[in-house]
Amino acid sequence: MVFIWSKKAFSDLKGIHEHIAKDSTFYAKKVSQNIYEKAQNLRLAPPQIGKKVPEFNDKNIREKSIYSYRIIFRIQPGTINIIAVVHKRQILNIDEL
């Protein structure tokens, strides 16, 4: 299984870390590391893990939740592509993905 993080997803994760680090470097590291690990664990899960992303009409674009964040990923044969990590209250702009 090929596992890919998009530039946007890494940027999102970095932004989450930086935002939390304003208050606590300890929790910034903990939260960002837990998000990263949960995303990495998707490769061990069944292909249709997670739920469909409501903003898309595509059964292959799915999401998993952790804390207040959504890990958005695309499933393709032999590949999982992490495309974004967004706050649950954030409006997901499809054009930016």
Tens digit of each residue's pLDDT (9 = 90 or more) over 14-71: 999 999 999 999 999 999 999 999 999 998 877 678 899 988 889 999 999 999 999 9
What is the predicted pLDDT for the residue at 91?
78
Scored b (16 or more CB within 10 A) or e, 25-60 reads eeebeebbeebbebbeebeeeeeeebeebeebeeee
Q: What is the CATH number of the domain that holds 52?
A: 3.30.2310.20
Q: Report helix angle 25-40 to 7-21, nearest 10.
A: 150
Give the pLDDT confidence score for residue 71 in this predicted structure: 97
**Domain total of the chain:** 1
Look up the domain containing 72 and give its range.
2-96
> Is the pLDDT score of 13 beyond 70?
yes
What is this structure's pTM? 0.91
The sign of the CA dihedral 49, 55, 61, 63 is negative
